[in-house]
Amino acid sequence: MNYKELFDMTNKVCIVTGGAGYLGSACCKALKDFGATVVSLDVLYSSENQPSKEEADLGLYCDLASTDSIKECFSKTQDIFGRIDVLVNCGIFGAGYGKDSRIEFMDDETWKKGIDGSLGVTFRGIREIVPYMKENGGSIINFCSMYGLVSPDLRIYGPDNPQTNPPNYGAGKAGVAQLTRYAACSLAKYNIRVNAVTPGPFPKPANATDSEFMASLGNKNMLGRTGKNHEIAGAVLLLASDASTYTTGSNIVVDGGWTAW
């Protein structure tokens, strides 16, 4: 057995949703570095705005709120590259911010949008990719969150923090953890593996300006700091590659120890 080859992604075609984002772009680059053909889906792409060649082979405009848009992107990927081996469900939208983010004030529409933007997008991604993986198997990796496992400590957010963490976000992500197990059980017969990764605090550098808030995020995990986007990529690569062919229904937590104490 050549163990290095287990991580080789040559000849594998991977789709990453939300691939233009902070964690999605790191996943795209890691998969490409190990030889994969990578298609990144995001609302930010257009013919003028494409990912760099080190990051992805193609960036397709996709609105994850729309099943038709997802269908079109999967079908285009299959037509251009001839197969789809890996789907990373990383993209997310809509939740509720400011006053709207608080459980006493959130209206029904905001609640539903946040649940759809976390759990609904994951469900649609899984359902729509199955026809492409049914014959040869595949790997689906869903992005959960530490706030799908434990509640945010709202004392560190405060009422006016723009990064306030709304109730529909964590509830949707808790659903992603369960949907991962359900889908793993349903799709094992096609040799489609379904796993999750659970990031802890990975603030985007542009948002990491409030040093007091950043310090409190650091203090709440064992390693005493927030994560950098490349630190999520190893877990995604493992689950995407043949190094994890006997792993399904699992959830790799990458949170500096936040949820373990």
DSSP count for the chain of H helices, then E strands: 7, 7
Do 64 and 38 form a contact (C-beta atoms < 8 A)?
no
How far from 127 is each of 27, 48, 82, 132, 145, CA to CA, in Å? 22, 30, 19, 10, 21
Size of the site for ligand NAD (CB under 6 A): 24
> What mask, x for binding ligand NAD by CB under 6 A, covers residues 177 to 216?
----------------------x-xxxx------------
The active-site residue, picked from 169, 182, 190, 246, is: 169
169 catalytic residue (yes or no) = yes
Nearest approach, Cβ of 148 to ligand NAD (angstroms)?
A: 8
- Per-residue interface string for the shown chain with ligand NAD, residues 88-127, x marking contact by CB under 6 A: --xxxx----------------------------------
Choose the stretch contacting ligand NAD; rule: CB under 6 A; options: 19-27, 52-60, 77-85, 102-110: 19-27
Residue nearest to ligand NAD (CB): 21
Long-range contacts of 122-126 (CB under 8 A, 24+ apart): 122/89, 122/176, 122/179, 123/179, 124/64, 124/67, 124/70, 125/17, 125/64, 125/70, 125/87, 125/89, 126/87, 126/89, 126/179, 126/183, 126/187, 126/194
Of 7, 8, 44, 123, the residue at the interface with ligand NAD (CB under 6 A) is 44
The set of catalytic residues is 169
List contacts with ligand NAD (CB under 6 A).
18, 20-24, 42-44, 62-65, 90-93, 143, 145, 199, 201-204
